[in-house]
């Protein structure tokens, strides 16, 4: 399924639990970059004439994950199931809006007007399902596993001031 990815959930989880907040931003970016290196240079190597470190327009996707992390700093100050669900839904929305906006700007197929922008968003709707499911499923796995481990291993429980 297109866009079924753990990266939005990773950004949220890092924002919620990493003591050093810069790590919560950096780790999803590194994961994205490593997977991009593999995808662009192994799976889609025939489309790139030479080794590709970054693809054109990468900053829209990477910027989305930075914004998701920042959003997570606020939504997940206190972790709860409703907040994790809100974070996952917000991450999906943010990624959809930012990445499709970047696609609209870079793609001459879309007119550089409101009609072209709306057409680009409509064209992105089929990918929205995978992003939403990925954000919800992987957030459930990451946050649920963490809660389960915290309930079983006292050393993992967060100390509150």
What confidence score (pLDDT) does residue 124 get? 96
Q: Which residues of the chain have pLDDT under 50?
A: 160-161
What confidence score (pLDDT) does residue 42 get? 95
Beta strands in the chain (DSSP E): none
What confidence score (pLDDT) does residue 56 get? 86
What confidence score (pLDDT) does residue 80 get? 96
Instruction: Record the pTM.
Output: 0.90
What confidence score (pLDDT) does residue 159 get? 57
Domain-wise residue ranges, the chain: 7-156
What confidence score (pLDDT) does residue 138 get? 98
What confidence score (pLDDT) does residue 161 get? 37
What confidence score (pLDDT) does residue 95 get? 97
CA-based nearest residue to 39, from 26, 25, 55: 55
CA-based nearest residue to 5, from 131, 99, 139: 131
Contact, 70 vs 87, CB < 8 A?
no
């Amino acid at each position: 399924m297109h866009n079924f990815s753990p990266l939005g959930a990773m950004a949220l989880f890092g924002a919620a639990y990493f003591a050093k907040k810069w790590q919560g931003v950096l780790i999803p970016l590194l994961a994205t970059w490593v997977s991009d290196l593999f995808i662009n240079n192994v799976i889609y190597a025939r489309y790139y004439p030479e080794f590709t470190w970054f693809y054109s327009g990468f900053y829209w996707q990477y910027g989305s994950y930075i914004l998701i992390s920042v959003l997570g700093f606020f939504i997940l100050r206190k972790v709860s199931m409703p907040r994790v669900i809100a974070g996952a839904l917000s991450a999906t929305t943010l990624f959809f809006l930012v990445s499709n906006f970047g696609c609209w700007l870079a793609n001459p197929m879309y007119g550089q007007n409101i009609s072209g922008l709306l057409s680009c968003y409509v064209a992105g709707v089929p990918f929205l399902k995978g992003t939403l499911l990925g954000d919800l499923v992987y957030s459930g796995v990451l946050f649920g596993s963490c809660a389960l481990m915290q309930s079983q291993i006292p050393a993992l429980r967060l100390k509150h001031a």
